[in-house]
Chain A
């Protein structure tokens, strides 16, 4: 076996198995750092061993066993050192790592371990940024450098964030377990929020390293699949996965070669990812059949209606407007009401949309929000009121800060 192909197997094994392995190791030793170190050592020795002696039948089990041995070695060394210094009172930490009984469980890689891990990473006692970083680092297996690049942060800042989070888990004793039934809905919502945030970071922002951004979307979808595997009956989880798949399916169509945004209406629908759409549509249907409406399912249902329209003209705007009204019942935010106004404008005519938008603008919450003015401009453009449309585009331009969005508004203004 040459080193290059051994490396390829090591990398594939890491991608496929590291979540299970690290989750089991953390349970065994009770420490994120020690688990991480043991796993890294194991992958490093795998490279040497497999190059020399060939690939084992079950690479994942090999890594798990090797990591576990490393953990025990470290625990023994540490205990000897501490006994010598006579400072040690109890050896709870070490005995946990040496409990041989848990080894088979670790090798089996029960899904419960990854479940424990995701709930701990997304514990509400950690702030949202820490939850995201920790989830990507441990379950996602991204390096601190990759996460830092994705969030446009200096690497030391991100590293510090991880150190603080892990320290709090240890010192405040955030449990490594699946929350009890009564706390589950709230805690699962926190996990879903983290996953969706990771996805949006990869999907919406157009600056930064595009490869890493792509990786964030893929990771968010992987995590949602994992959560769904563990809670197959949860409508929110199914809705979240569907929503991300349906958005992700337009990945190639929504930006042109120069990085400029292409609106849904102008996208080449032939480049939408059919496989993702089909999976997303099936999930939406399933989630809706449970009659447990939540924000993810409703947004997924809206995305599904867009995905099902072969041409923009075939879009079921009345249904989309109705879904936005449902969404507004759960979360009466002005942005959702704005989206509803757009949908009504598209189905009942721009004048009706404009009327609704103006009432939103008057109420004040959105008067400084560039998308309100961009949406107004679009409605004015559709009703051929060029002067007023240009005025609204200029207003939107004055408020927009994102360069990609500014370029889009400039183009529209120029086309009038």
Chain B
């Protein structure tokens, strides 16, 4: 079953990171990508541009309202994702432990969500 791993971390930490710190985090990501790639279970993995590049479109009175910014202002922001095939939640949790989340020791979190599998149309 496929699970998406949503990486939440503090953008301010990412922005103020030194080159070495950035390199260390990238290395951890590469390790996860190499391992899951080798096992043939990695579908996708990608960091996102920060939330100041986000645009939200919501329908209001039947008309699209275009707003600058993310869906919600939160202390931690969605920073990237992995899409990995896992046997069950325990295996997903093992992957989540390996994905770096809290940059510079700051608070961070990986949210695991199973994808909803639909029958073919």
Q: Which residues of A contact B (CB under 8 A)?
A: 87-89, 123, 125, 171-175, 179, 183
CB-based contact A89/B119 at 8 Å: yes
Can you offer 12 A-B residue contacts whose CB atoms are under 8 A? Answer: A88-B119, A89-B120, A123-B89, A125-B89, A172-B112, A172-B114, A173-B1, A174-B90, A175-B87, A175-B88, A175-B89, A175-B90
Q: Is the interface of A mostly helix, strand, loop or mixed?
A: loop
In the complex formed, the residue of B with least CB distance to A182 is: B94
Most buried by A among B93, B112, B116, B120: B93
CB-based contact B120/A179 at 8 Å: no
In the complex formed, the residue of A with least CB distance to B118 is: A89
Q: For residue A88, which residues in chain B have a CB less than 8 angstroms away from its CB?
A: 119
Shortest distance between the CB of B98 and any CB in chain A (Å):
14
Using a Cβ cutoff of 8 Å, how many contacts connect chains A and B? 26
CB-based contact B89/A173 at 8 Å: yes
Shortest distance between the CB of B12 and any CB in chain A (Å):
30
CB-based contact A172/B90 at 8 Å: no
Q: Is the interface of B mostly helix, strand, loop or mixed?
A: loop
CB-based contact B119/A174 at 8 Å: no
Q: For residue A183, which residues in chain B have a CB less than 8 angstroms away from its CB?
A: 90
CB-based contact B114/A173 at 8 Å: yes
CB-based contact B119/A172 at 8 Å: no
Q: For residue B120, which residues in chain A have a CB less than 8 angstroms away from its CB?
A: 89
Q: For residue B1, which residues in chain A have a CB less than 8 angstroms away from its CB?
A: 173
A125–B88 Cα distance when bound, in Å, is 12
CB-based contact A173/B88 at 8 Å: yes
CB-based contact B119/A179 at 8 Å: no
Q: For residue B119, which residues in chain A have a CB less than 8 angstroms away from its CB?
A: 87-89
A171–B2 Cα distance when bound, in Å, is 11
Q: For residue B93, which residues in chain A have a CB less than 8 angstroms away from its CB?
A: 125
Shortest distance between the CB of A93 and any CB in chain B (Å):
13
A89–B87 Cα distance when bound, in Å, is 19
Most buried by A among B90, B93, B116: B90
Shortest distance between the CB of B39 and any CB in chain A (Å):
17
Q: For residue B112, which residues in chain A have a CB less than 8 angstroms away from its CB?
A: 172
A89–B89 Cα distance when bound, in Å, is 23
CB-based contact B88/A174 at 8 Å: yes
Most buried by B among A88, A89, A173: A173
Shortest distance between the CB of A116 and any CB in chain B (Å):
12
Shortest distance between the CB of A181 and any CB in chain B (Å):
13
In the complex formed, the residue of B with least CB distance to A124 is: B93
Interface mask (B83-121 → A, CB under 8 Å = 1, otherwise 0): 000011110010000000000000000001010100110
Shortest distance between the CB of A84 and any CB in chain B (Å):
15
A171–B89 Cα distance when bound, in Å, is 10
Shortest distance between the CB of B2 and any CB in chain A (Å):
11
A172–B114 Cα distance when bound, in Å, is 6
